[in-house]
Amino acid sequence: RIVGNLPENSVGQRSKGVRLGKFAALLPWSFAKVYTVKCCKANVHEMTIGSIVFQVAEGDITEEEGDVIVNITNKTFSLKIGVSRAILKGAGKAVEDECAQLASQANKSYITTQAGRLPCKKIIHFVAQDDIKMLVYTVLQECEFQQYASVTFPAIGTVVLPATWDDMENQRLKIVTLCPETREYRDVQKRFLETCQSFKIEKIERVQNLYLWKAYQIKKSEMDNKNGNKNNERCLFHGTSKNSLTLINNGGFNRSYAGMHAAHFGNGTYFAIKASYSANATYSTPDMDGKKYMYLARVLVGEYSLGRKGSIIPAAKNTSNSTDLFDSSTDNVKQPSIFVIFHDAQAYPEYLITFTA
């Protein structure tokens, strides 16, 4: 069979998910073109393929009574946002401890634990990955090997939120101040201080914007597919003024701001490899208290070419095809120090650094 779940981004809401029953290791992935789907009851769509019953339903995965439910998690099997948070909370501390114990034993893509307080029999905790088809196939193979009769998947294939994020609590935007003792803080601090040793960090905040993150991930997937690789993303700096913080946190980097500062390589949004470039007062203008502001952003630079002043799109890869464009522009193709993007969804403002001279 196949069944319901909670969505990735909000505990307590209901969304569609999948149940599979006995059992689909050889399930044809094109079956939807061949078999008729029927609505057997409210919010449940079902089809039968030989001895296999396949259902897509809306519900709460923590209430499933089948043999196995699947928890999409992080590499340490400790993710506590969205569906994973609901599953671990419902299963109880004993399951959390079992996850920690199994995670320390070997580098695995999945582990199987007891269900704790949940009504199912087992939980398969699977590390999130881009190849969803392989993820599902691996789970089905494991269930076939263990002779489980049914398995319930959450709605995978939707955008997975970063493992570092706090619970969004049904908010569209959440700003989280990082604790200086955490690894996350130290990683951002290290990047900044590599070229900005003379500055003092006042605080580092994580920007959790659900809409912007989803838009960015969709654009990333599109670029990865177009370029045939996943080496399209860089972590880059962007200096700004205090007046722009609310706009960027809520709506991302807007190309309409282009031209406010030096725009020698195109009228797009500029990002720097070195924090020292963005720390320049031209870009990170001090406020009345002397505080300056800089984002460490995820940026999809993809395939890039030399930028041109006044350009509003990247250059064409081939003069005979004006629609086949590079993904971004730069100041130096061989040794770039800055990148310019012309699509707002190509960057995500992941961290906001407040600092002083």
For residue 193, the domain's CATH number is 3.90.228.10
Instruction: Decide which of 333 and 169 is more confident.
Output: 333
Instruction: Decide which of 314 and 163 is more confident.
Output: 314
- Same domain assignment for residues 181 and 147: no
- Residue 329: phi and psi, rounded to 5, are -120, 160
Q: Give residue-wise pLDDT tens across range 135-183.
A: 888 999 999 999 999 999 988 766 677 878 988 877 889 999 999 999 9
Residue 20: the pLDDT is 59
Residue 4: the pLDDT is 35
Q: DSSP string covering 7-48, please?
A: -SS-TT--EEEEEEES--TT--TTGGGTS--EEEETTEEEEE
Q: Contact at 8 Å (CB) between 269 and 238?
A: yes
Residue 9: the pLDDT is 37
Q: Contact at 8 Å (CB) between 299 and 233?
A: yes
Please report whether residue 166 resides in a domain: no
Confidence of residue 264 (pLDDT cuts 50, 70, 90): confident
Q: Of 138, 81, 132, 85, which Cα lies nearest the Cα of 108?
A: 138
Which CATH number fits the domain that encloses residue 109? 3.40.220.10
- Same domain assignment for residues 195 and 146: no
Q: Contact at 8 Å (CB) between 216 and 345?
A: yes
Residue 17: the pLDDT is 59
Q: CA 265 to CA 330: how far, in whole Å?
A: 7
- Same domain assignment for residues 149 and 178: no
Domain count for the chain: 2
Please report whether residue 161 resides in a domain: no
- Same domain assignment for residues 44 and 105: yes
- Same domain assignment for residues 221 and 299: yes
- Same domain assignment for residues 230 and 325: yes
Residue 322: the pLDDT is 85
What is the residue whose two structure tokens read 């392989």? 134
Pairing of strands 68-73, 122-127: parallel
Long-range contacts of 256-260 (CB under 8 A, 24+ apart): none
Q: CA 224 to CA 218: how far, in whole Å?
A: 10
Q: Of 153, 79, 93, which Cα lies nearest the Cα of 123?
A: 153
Q: CA 343 to CA 216: how far, in whole Å?
A: 10
Q: Give residue-wise pLDDT tens across range 6-47.
A: 333 333 334 445 565 554 433 443 343 344 445 555 667 888
Confidence of residue 266 (pLDDT cuts 50, 70, 90): very high
**Which pair of tokens denotes residue 91?**
């299963």
248: containing domain: 173-356
Rg (Cα) of the chain, in Å, rounded? Answer: 24
Q: Give residue-wise pLDDT tens across range 336-354.
A: 999 999 999 999 999 999 9
Q: Give residue-wise pLDDT tens across range 77-108.
A: 988 777 888 899 999 999 999 999 998 887 78
Residue 159: the pLDDT is 65
Q: CA 297 to CA 259: how far, in whole Å?
A: 20
**Is residue 39 packed enough to be buried (19+ CB in 10 Å), middle (13-18) or exposed (0-12)?**
exposed
- Same domain assignment for residues 293 and 240: yes
pLDDT of residue 194 exceeding 80, the answer is: yes
Please report whether residue 236 resides in a domain: yes
Q: Contact at 8 Å (CB) between 1 and 44?
A: no
Confidence of residue 3 (pLDDT cuts 50, 70, 90): very low
- Same domain assignment for residues 351 and 202: yes
- Same domain assignment for residues 190 and 243: yes
- Same domain assignment for residues 206 and 107: no
